[in-house]
Structure 1
Amino acid sequence: MRAYSTAHLAVELPEGHPFPLYKYRGVAEALRGLLPILPAPEVPREALYLAHEAAYLERLFTEGLSREESLRLGLPFSPSLLRRALFAAGGTLAAALDALEGGLGLNLSGGTHHAFPNRAEGYSLFNDVAVAVAWLRREGFRGRVLVLDLDAHQGNGTAVFFQNDPSVYTLSLHGERNYPLKKERSDLDVGLPDGTGDEAYLLALEGALEQAWDFRPEFVFYNAGVDVLKGDRFGRLALSLEGVRRRDERVFRFVKALGVPLVVVMGGGYNRDPRLTVEAHAGTYRLALSSLA
């Protein structure tokens, strides 16, 4: 068992920018000693072209993003940003191959679910899960895939990628009034009111997982965002650390009952207390190891 990390990659950001670069190094350090943590590999360009539109990729690699596109992304475009996105997507792809072989794959990054086939949005240049699914298909995997997105924000890009693919079931449990303003159509969208706490959240999750069970997935990608925590700058929900642990426990119990491979990707987490963000993310990976490894 191993995990992949982008902690070794720097990104040029304006002073005070809210993107939480600190958490990638923090989570890797919190897990060190539990399992080998490897630098994420760069995603093959071929894999990107299996998922994203060629015109978008070619423009990205030659011209970058315009100012307007960078505003939509929420990050200033730079070569270091592009490089990090390539390795974050590579970590998810490597984790997917690990999961096929051993049942569990871990990327201490990824979950960039706002990237569309033809554009960047919401801190997401590439949709790492869509890229990994496309690569698995190319390599011959034909099983049903569940994308279980428990980030506080709807996985709008992921929904668009798979809207016409009956072999992939997209489930998003998110803040109804949160970003993105325009929601796309997942197979199952569960919108929650601002301030939703542990018990209401877990009840909603239970019902959603019951519906996903009927799909009988044969592979699961879990976007384990911790921006559901109370005090998150962008999450607008109000789970406790214990609530996040119970959420993860329920997910891992669900996957174990299915007996299928699982990939865990990090997703969002922007708590006003950075220590809580790191602790919650690290707790997810620890629980995955103790429950499924």
Structure 2
Amino acid sequence: MLPIAFHPIFKHPLPEGHRFPMLKYELLPQQLIHEGIAQKSDFFEPEIIPIETVLRVHTKQYVSDLMDLTLDPKAARKIGFPLSKELVERELRIAQGTIIGAEKAFETKVAFNIAGGTHHAYSNRGEAFCLLNDQAISAQYLLDNKLAKKALIIDLDVHQGNGTAEIFQKNDNVFTFSTHGKTNYPFKKETSDLDIAFDDNTSDDEFLKTISTIVPNLIEQQKPDFIFYLAGVDILASDKLGKLGCTIEGCKKRDEIVFQNCERYEIPLQVSMGGGYSPEIKTIIDAHANTYRVAKDILL
């Protein structure tokens, strides 16, 4: 079984520039089913998350402004999407999908969210297409419900998980680890528990050497009983919003390193997809599908 949270394609009209990135959420499930990596029964559509669960991570004022669509115009512009009731509802479902996946992962070893990876959402604001921080909400949920004592967030997207770092800056029960492009957005970085900033055009060799050393060391040192993995494929050299030089094969090897260590240490994990903005949609789908292919080969 490969539990996968699926969210219907965002139907509210979007400006032309936003439509292409959203297409992967529709095409990726089709590709996984076509290849036999997943079956229709593996997918589940989450309900809307209880607001009190969101408030364990996000401030009451921010959540209220989102729900009522009363965000300050300047704050709304930082999000990047036109704010709407449909958009907020979709984010609430994404967050619930990550929670349900995390719960399922205790039985299945791994669970996925087709969307998610909204790591630029701070406790009191959203930015860069992120309204609510799905993995942060889920990590706090596991702690609150005594399902985990220590969570490790492994964020290997090309952009720093700045919102995640801010949310857990004073929480010793969640260790935040982010690798990212040194000159990429966000230009003002927050301080994660561990940050590694790569130079432009960093190759597979350097990237993978770093990951293969740090991931097992962190698991040994932090001894987490749950791992959240943000598996953005914007580390590819072809990515329009990334500046690294990784290949599709290197991106796949990155996933292998994470999954192999979770298997070795017997730690359940939840995976959110994060970014991916290569010019050709087939590149994005293939890179994201690799994450599922590797998980099935190693963990199931």
Asked if the contact 1:64/1:77 (under 8 Å) is kept, the reply is: no
Whether 1:268 aligns to 2:275 is yes
CA distance in 2, matches of 1:96, 1:281: 19
- The residue that corresponds to 2:234 in the other structure is 227
Contact 2:152/2:224, CA 8 A, preserved across alignment: yes
Residue among 26, 33, 49 paired with 2:55: 49
Which of 263, 287, 290 is equivalent to 1:283? 290
Q: Which runs of 5+ in 2 are unaligned?
A: none
Aligned to 1:13: 14
SS in 2 for 1:50: coil
Question: In structure 1, what is the equivalent of residue 179 of structure 2?
Answer: 173
State the percentage of identical aligned residues: 38
Say whether the 8 Å CA contact 1:190–1:208 is kept in structure 2: no
1:116-195 to 2 correspondences below 5 Å: 116-195=122-201
Aligned residues: 293
Deviation at 1:207, TM superposition (A): 3.0
Aligned to 2:31: 30
Runs of 4+ with >6 A deviation: none
Q: What per-residue deviation string (whole Å, max 9, x for no partner) do you get for residues 230-283 of structure 1?
A: 111101112111001111111111111111111011011111111101111111
Deviations 1:11-44 (CA, angstroms, capped at 9, x unpaired): 4311223761001111111112423222233222
User: Superposition RMSD on alpha carbons, in Å?
Assistant: 1.5
Letter in 2 for 1:52: H
| 1:164-199 deviations in Å (ceiling 9; x for gaps) | 111111110100110001100111100001111211
Tell me, yes or no, if the aligned pair for 1:18 and 1:270 is still in contact at 8 Å. Answer: no
Where structure 1 has 5 or more consecutive residues not aligned to the other structure, the ranges are none
- Could you state the TM-score of these two structures normalised by the residue count of structure 2? 0.93
Amino acid of the residue matched to residue 161 of structure 1? I
Code of the residue aligned with 2:106 in structure 1: it is L
Q: Which amino acid aligns with 1:194?
A: D
Contact 1:147–1:221 (8 Å) recurs in 2: yes
Q: Is the 8 A contact 1:41 1:94 kept in 2?
A: no
1:87 Cα deviation from its structure 2 partner: 1.2
CA apart distance, 1:210: 4.0
Q: What's the TM-score once normalised by structure 1's chain length?
A: 0.95
